[in-house]
Structure 1
Amino acid sequence: MTRRLLIIFVLAVGLVAVCALTWTITWRTGIDTLRRNAAVRGDRMTAALKSTLERYESLPYLISRHPLIQNVLVKQHPDLVDQANRYLEDVNHHARATATYIIREDGLCVAASNWRGPDSFIGVEYRFRPYFIDAIGGGVGRFFGIGTISHDPGYYISQPVRLDERIVGVAVVKLNLEWFPGSDATEPLFVTDDHGVIFLSSVPSWKYHTVRPLTGTIADSIEQTQQYARQDLAPLPLSVESVLADGADIVRVGTGIGAPRFIETRRSIGEPDWQLVTMSPVAPVDDDARSAAIMTAFAYLSLCLLGFYWRMRRARVREVMRSREMLQKAYGLLNERVAERTADLSQANEQLHREVAERTRAEQELRAAHDELIQASKLAALGQMAAGITHELNQPLAALRSFSDNTRVLLDRGEHDAARENLEAIGSLTERMGKITNQLKLFVGRARPKNARALIGRALRNTLGLLGKRLDGVRVELALVNGSVEPPSRTPFDPHLDYPELVAQCDDLRLEQVLINVIGNALDAIAAVPSPALSIDVEAGDATLAISVRDNGPGIPDDVLPRLFEPFFTTKEVGQGLGLGLAISSSIARDCGGSLAARNEPGGGACFVLTLRRVQVVVPRTSAADA
């Protein structure tokens, strides 16, 4: 055990040493490469910035030598000022500078290239700006700051304007350098002025920070010249971790262990006294060193595992030889146990045959019981169909009796035309009874036509005609509700019209069958009411048609409402109903893709709503010329 622990300890120490060596070599190599690349990048960016500044260095001198500029600073005649503004505007446009302007010796701007804009420099005093002070003293002014009028940062180059060897003003060119750090955004880059203030940066959050704390004198000077428009020039949290060759340092920006580290290289711009600082992230080098250490660790562990495998294989060979001897002994014992197990399996097989025979007999008995149940279900269906026929034929038979009595009276009176109409009605009822029988067959067989259509107006007229005698003394209100507009409109419904635009997806006889059952039940409910009344509304929607039948009866009891559409459930006395009307009506509505629902009205009485799919038809309109 002690020897094994010692081997593991030695291997662990070797793993740590190899990984540390690999990490150190890879990290140093990466740092050297990163430092060289940063130096090249710093030289390239410094050259680009210096080239830009030098290109505009002579522009304010050329402007100061122009006679128009010299004269306007002395005479300041309106015509001369206008010519100077246009000249400066043209020069600024062709030079692609941000702004070009001239300042009198008292510090007041008298002409500018942006004279047309609302943020024109004309009339603004610049006596406090360092570039004016340097130029009015006879030198060249170079200054970076934030504009007091435009509030845009820029680089200012100024030259004195001389007339007869006397300085009469200053010519200034402003350049926008905000593009410069963004030209290479792969790694951070910033430019500092002679006070260490970052005024150009590819990282926006670093802008207007300082690389070192400002002294009181420098801070007061920046405040007086309004160089950075009263920006809060807080120090950048930058700390040097180690110093490298060629003026490069490894720095950490921020606080804490997780703060990013960079290789910082500095390049002097020269004139003006600026420094360009490139920041190359050290994280990729750390990642590469970490990856190399991990790969080395994997290789080291692989070699260790290979050694362990070779050692374990030798031990395995010895174990196999020992196991072979034990296997031969176990083989004899196994033969004895196999014989015992075979006897047990034979006994279990006989038991299984007996259980299979028992299950087969039970299955045969179950099939016989299932066949008997099917026969009983068929007898119940036949009984339900016979009861349905009895219920559905009650209404036509009653109408036949009424029409036949009326026909006999009309014949006695000699009113043959009226008698003929009754006979035609009797023929229609006979045909209807045949259709009802056929529909009940379809009800049992669940076969329904898919493209049947029915006119709502005709079905209501036939239903009311069939129930004419029962409607005597009952106040009936018919209304048509257009539910496809906002707000819905309500107009009287004329039972003498077919309303060809109101077509439901349902067989006409089946629709009348449902309406007779629903309206008949409503008439039964208001039979004992002193002032019986029915309200029938036809609500036409875009895709549905809803027929609502309301009565002023006692309503539906709460315990009856859930079972209202169950077959053979009825609240009527024996002999007055079979409880199949609403069940058949609900089945018809479902087969047609609709529904039949019932509820109690808040003001009293019950309401049945039959909802069907609407068939959209185009009804030809008669023009005034045809009329």
Structure 2
Amino acid sequence: MSLSDVHHQTFSESSVEGRRWLYWRLLLVALVVCLTGLAGVIQLSHLMEENAKSATLLKGTLHSELSRFDYLPELLSVDDRVKNRLQRRDAGVANRYLAFVTATSEANKIFLLDRQGIAIASSNYQDEAHSFVGQDYSFRPYFSETVDSGRRQYYFGKGVTTGIPGFFIAEPVSVNGEIGGVVVVKLELSELLDSWRATRDLVLVADSQNVVILSSQERWMYRLVDSVPELQLAQIRLARQFPDESHALMYTAQLRLTLPIFGILSFWYVDGHWYLVEAFPLPSQDWRLIHLVTIQQLLEPMLYVLLSSLVLATLAWSLLRERAKKLGLRRMVQEAEVRRLQDLQRLIDDIHIGVLLFDHQGIVRSVNRYAGNLLQLEPSLVGETDIRDQLLFDEGVKFCEFLVDPQRTLQYHETCVRHPRDSDAGVIPVMFALAEVEYADSPRYLMTLVNITKRKRAEDALWELNESLESTVLERTRELEQAQQALVQKSKTLALGNMAATIVHELSQPLSAVNSSVAAIEHKSLQQNWIGVGESVARLKPLATKMAKVVQMLKNFSYEDAEDVESVALLTWINRSLEERRDQLAEKGVQVRVEGSAAIELRVSLLKLDLVFSNLLANALDAVEKVASPVIDVTLSEHEKVVSLSVQDNGGGIDEAIMGQLFSPYFTTKGIGKGLGLGLSIANEIAQQLGGSISASNRNGGACFTVTLPAAARSQEPEVLSGVGQPSEQHGDSGKSPSSKNVSERQHDQSAQ
């Protein structure tokens, strides 16, 4: 071969080799580009997956934090201390109670609003600078919406008193069947925000009005994540939801890209940086959790892959050089394996689990330090000791059965060491397991031993505790049964006492009128003056009939019998009732004036109506007992199918301090023996049964009690009368009712006759 041929062959080989390396270079470049693009896709997918996981975790954490106190508002709304405060009682008790609940429940603030939205109790009542007590929160939507709907409301806003944002839970408080106020629990979520800000995640929460209410970056708070109409911003400012905040737009530029795999991707330009944005809904509060990722996080892995690909491409040129090092590397691997086995042996020797190896005859071949101490086995005895001499097995179970049964060898079993080191401590309970292994081409059995003395002691202690608890439960059950029997007996005694008190009170009124009539008859009989005696005797029968009806009504209450209901002309009935009490009124020198329309009618039980009127009249008679010129005015009126019956005296009125307790059972201002405190309570209860009510007030130097009852239907216009305590007789056929005289004047006329 000539030199030119050699040169040509060399040139041809060089050209082929050059093209081959060119192809390799192009392939490496394409591989680097593909790997970089693949890395970008993988990183984007990874970021979106991590964002989804993080969003799920954050949503769960946020939901858990918000729902952690869901029980508290409802619990507070039924508490008597909260209801008493809404009735303008126990201000100090309510404040201290709310402060105690706040401290124990770890809530931030708890306060109580009355029907007008004024804070009347608060957990921070001692903080003079930021106390909620006395503040007007009626403008807050959570107050107005709770009162209007009667249901719990949730609200997020910035505090107008403290300036601290928080999540408000408002619960209506029902008093006497009506919403008397609202109890509010405030959660400031500071710990949640601190945990967010301690991480590298960029997250924020926007409410339904596109306002950022929670953020891992404090500078993003109260910004807008989307454009909001100016009218909506004005409403937010008017409600003072975020006072002193400007609500600037979150981003200055926005970019949307559509990718085949990932769909629409949103990018925001915020504070000089681009961010990848993903939004996740929070349906429980109509909020959105927005996760932001910097573009650097997306590009950095691509740069790393690019650099790594270049490095790998460079390393590919040195693969041939590395082949020479394989033998040395193999030798290093073998040495590392030896060191690993040595480390494993040292680990077995040092762990607190007994490990021993024995053959099929039960002769111990190897033990670690812990097993030797547990079995009291000296190293010199290894190879001579039978494992069956060291452990106790249950009667009827042969040790060889453990070796041939695979189900037994795979389980843990309990036994005891036969020769413990300390004879005073008794046997040592252990737990062991067996496994068959190959060792030096011969079968061996590997046993692990664990000392379970502490566990056995704990089991014994638990058994003793269980026995003690059972005896305690039996004893407490007996005590509860005895207490229940005592409570039933006490309830029976209390019911009997209440019935006796009611009978005494309701019979005392007609008995007093009977005594007055009997006294008048006795006085006239001594003077041999028989004028008016027949009328006094005639008044005794209605009073006796009334006492019989009272007893019959109590019987009806006991057996739930139906009561008699009839229509009655109220003015005529009142004059007749006052006529029955003429002697009693004359004895006390009380002037009774009656004014009203004769056409006013009621459809009621006459006995119940008489009980109401008798109690109000008796209350007025007691009030004017020490007045020089006692006067009682009885007024009837009707307005919009509601009849009002007022009994007013001139006895000086009622103390405003006790006005709210007048209708409470057993409340009385009279001396011992003069009253049981049941009159107004019974009258109030009967009025409610009749579909009406009773109210008390001070008017013209005396007390005025007004009974309102539904009017009966009628077919003619009312005729107005102005009269006295008995029905007047008409004179002639004029059709008009003459004015009647009062009871005391009629008594004077009879005396003159």
TM-score band by shorter chain is 0.3 to 0.5
Relative contact order higher in (CA < 8 Å, ≥ 6 apart): 1
TM-score normalised by the chain length of structure 1: 0.44
Bigger radius of gyration, 1 or 2? 1
